[in-house]
Amino acid sequence: MSSESGSERSWHRLPPEIRHQILQSFLGQDGCRQAPYATVSREWQAVVEPRTFARIRLTPSRIEEFESMVHRNRALVRSIWLCLELMEYDCYMCAPMDPLLRGFRNTDSFMIMVSLLDVFTALSRWDSRGSLQLDISIYSVSDSEHWFKYLTFEPDVSFEESGRRGRVERAIQAKCDDWHHGWRGGRRRFAPDRWAISKIFNDMMGNGPFAEDGQEHEYWHLLPLVPAVTSVLLRQQNRRRWKPTALASIFARLPRLREVHYEPWREWVHTQQASTDECMRSLLESLALSRALASASLLLEHLSASFMVDASHFFAAREPTWRWRNLTWLALTSRLLTPDQDSETTEDMLQAAAGAAMAMRKLETMEIWNGSEGLAMVFRYQRAPARELAVITMRGTWELALHPAVVNAWEVVARRHCCYGCTFETELLDAAAVASYGDAIHCLRLSNPVLRPISLEQIRMEQRIRDGSVQ
């Protein structure tokens, strides 16, 4: 008898490219555990391993064996999701009035310190010729078990791509009957108090574990340089806050860093926002200085800053000699884009934007937008091929009328970019469809993502769950 079955013979008779397509389709099925199939044959291994090792989820308990796990397949790793899980807590600790109980625990601080040191040490030995993304999430599994049932902690893969949206929403709904924490009948009936909010939005390593600033400085310099990392993700699912000085220290250890996706939350107390904004300004300056640049934005190719700085302030700060020689896409938010704003102030900002665009010789798209509950607006300039019309789009929940001076300013920009002139398009959106700024981003159809796709999906899902509108 032949040792090869009929089905095996049929399989090997197929052309290699057909077999490859079949394997890709089979292994891409929702819920398919791929790793075990690598043992079937070298052919299957060649398909399975690039999928298995492309995205690695790493927890503190696995860091010690991380090197041995991926040693043979380092070149296949494209993204490392570092999940630093904080200690779990019970109802006594979910909204404590005592600041000592509410604060960031030293046990968690030391876990983060040790984990970062171990990961950076391991990655410092990796080849620095490729691209590697480091995605850092810091959370407790208890966060979604008390007041904030809707919190999810997901990899950087959209729900559409992973096919998990339905399962995630059903799992959350199953928890949403907890009157003690404000949930009844699948929706939130009353909001958490400030103590519960402070617990989730704590400053990481806020009052410790370092006795003095010198010790913290020494710790960050223990981290070796990691040339392999080229991109860092700090997504909005991280409610707890990084100190800007800590972020600056981490970024300084990544000499080939090309992309930073940072999605911080605004302060809940308005009086604290000015201090936070000043710290963020210092962080941006430190990034520039670490690369001997006078200004971080002038050498960037893409820049998106949502609510971190108002577009009017960005353009007002422009020096006459500034030239953005590489910038092709710029997206900024402005609170001046509201229907009740003084029109002259808005027009001044749009003319200042045109003045800046004149100094951006490679600019393809500039978007100035705003969004919140019941409100959305984007002003978009899109360059066209030479001797064609550039497009100005105004899409929003009200009509944005442009003064002739604004129109003329952007006509000049278009001609500077070798376009024939500008054409203006408007689209009115339904304000009732905008329940959050996540919905605003979705409805505005911005040309490039201003949030990671999974972050946008999480924001919109959280809003539906709080409203009880999940189907």
Closest CA to 222 of 113, 134, 60, 63: 113
- The 10s digit of each residue's pLDDT in 265-283 is 876 666 666 666 666 666 6
pLDDT above 50 (res 291): no
Place of tokens 């390593």: 205
One-letter amino acid at 81 equals W
Residues 6+ positions from 81 with CB-CB distance below 8 Å: 55, 56, 57, 58, 135, 137, 155, 156
pLDDT above 50 (res 290): no
Give me the phi and psi of 110, to 5 degrees please. -65, -35
- Residue 360: the pLDDT is 93
- Residue 344: alpha-carbon gap to chain centroid: 34
293 CB burial (10 A radius; 0-12, 13-18, 19+) = middle
- Residue 65: the pLDDT is 87
**Distance from C-alpha of 471 to C-alpha of 456, rounded to nearest angstrom:** 19
Closest CA to 81 of 126, 136, 154: 136
Instruction: Express as a percent the part of the chain with pLDDT over 70.
Output: 81
pLDDT above 60 (res 289): no
Task: Render 83-106 in DSSP notation, one character per residue.
Answer: EEEPPP--HHHHS-SSHHHHSPPH
**Distance from C-alpha of 311 to C-alpha of 305, rounded to nearest angstrom:** 9
Report the predicted TM-score, pTM, of the whole model to 2 decimal places: 0.75
Whether cis (ω within 30° of 0) applies to the bond prior to 209 is: yes
- Selected residue with higher pLDDT from 412 and 305: 412
Closest CA to 407 of 415, 418, 395: 415
Residues 6+ positions from 15 with CB-CB distance below 8 Å: none
User: Per-residue confidence at 284, pLDDT binned at 50, 70, 90?
Assistant: low
User: Per-residue confidence at 292, pLDDT binned at 50, 70, 90?
Assistant: very low
**Distance from C-alpha of 177 to C-alpha of 83, rounded to nearest angstrom:** 28
User: What is the SS3 string spanning 193-252?
Assistant: CHHHHHHHCCECCCCCCCCCHHHHHHHHHHCCCCCCCCEEEECCCCCCECCHHHHHHHHH
269 CB burial (10 A radius; 0-12, 13-18, 19+) = exposed
Decide: 417 and 327 in contact? Cβ < 8 Å: no
- Selected residue with higher pLDDT from 352 and 7: 352
- Residue 377: the pLDDT is 95
- Residue 173: the pLDDT is 79
- Residue 349: the pLDDT is 93
pLDDT above 70 (res 306): yes
- Residue 37: the pLDDT is 55
In which element (H, E) is residue 410 found? Answer: helix 404-416
Angle, alpha carbons 89-60-27 (nearest 5°): 105
What integer is the mean pLDDT of 372-401? 93
pLDDT above 60 (res 426): yes
- Residue 394: the pLDDT is 95
- The 10s digit of each residue's pLDDT in 226-268 is 999 999 999 999 998 888 888 888 998 998 888 889 888 876 6
What integer is the mean pLDDT of 320-332? 90
Q: Which of 209-223, 411-425, 448-462 has the lowest mean pLDDT?
A: 209-223
pLDDT above 50 (res 93): yes
User: Per-residue confidence at 21, pLDDT binned at 50, 70, 90?
Assistant: low
Give me the phi and psi of 146, to 5 degrees please. -120, -105
What integer is the mean pLDDT of 89-109? 84
- Residue 31: the pLDDT is 47
- Residue 94: the pLDDT is 87
The per-residue pLDDT of the chain, averaged, comes to: 82
pLDDT above 80 (res 356): yes
Buried b (16+ CB within 10 A) or exposed e, 144-176: bbbbbbbbbbbebbbbeeeebeeebbeebbebb
Residues 6+ positions from 202 with CB-CB distance below 8 Å: 102, 103, 104, 240, 241
Decide: 392 and 411 in contact? Cβ < 8 Å: no
What letter does residue 253 receive in the DSSP assignment? T
Tokens matching residue 177: 């009957």
- The 10s digit of each residue's pLDDT in 140-175 is 999 998 999 989 898 998 877 666 777 887 778 778
- Residue 203: the pLDDT is 83
Instruction: Express as a percent the part of the chain with pLDDT over 90.
Output: 33
- The 10s digit of each residue's pLDDT in 49-78 is 677 778 889 999 888 888 888 887 888 889
Give whichever of 70-74, 84-88, 291-295 has the largest mean pLDDT: 84-88
- Selected residue with higher pLDDT from 34 and 465: 465
Closest CA to 384 of 370, 365, 405: 365
